[in-house]
Amino acid sequence: MIEEQAELCPEIEKSFELIGKRWTGLIIYVLFSGPKRFSEIHTLIPDLSKRVLTERMKELEGHGIVLRHVIPERPIRTEYLLTKKGNELAKILGPISQWAIKWMKVK
């Protein structure tokens, strides 16, 4: 539970800024079910442009939330998966998705 007099600290502000960026939460949510290739993520979130997806993936990788894994088989493939840090964040998004299904009806 959030304390009434909780003070915002830079870490909390930075976290909400990151999660609040358009598409970031959905990308993390999609990766929670397991590793995905770039094209799979793009297919699952079709309104997300490839340019923005590339930006978000680099940002999430830079924050240690997503790991870019190159599979050296022929043909060479790249998968993205959540790190331990990313999985902990994704667990928080589960209840948000349940809330969304209940309260955010799309007309």
3-state DSSP call for residue 7? coil
Structural domain including 28 reads: 12-103
54 lies in a domain? yes
3 lies in a domain? no
3-state DSSP call for residue 37? strand
pLDDT tens for the chain, 107 residues: list them.
555 546 778 888 899 899 999 999 999 999 999 999 999 999 999 999 999 999 999 999 999 999 999 999 888 899 999 999 999 999 998 899 899 999 998 77
CA distance linking residue 90 with residue 79, whole number of Å = 17
Going by their DSSP bridges, the two strands 36-37 and 77-82 should be labelled as: antiparallel
CATH of the domain at 88: 1.10.10.10
Total tally of structural domains belonging to the chain: 1
Number of other residues whose CB lies within 10 A of the CB of residue 15: 13
| pTM, to two decimals | 0.85
Instruction: Give the pLDDT score at 6.
Output: 63
87 lies in a domain? yes
43 lies in a domain? yes
**Total number of residues shown for the chain:** 107
Phi, psi of 106 (to 5 degrees): -95, 130
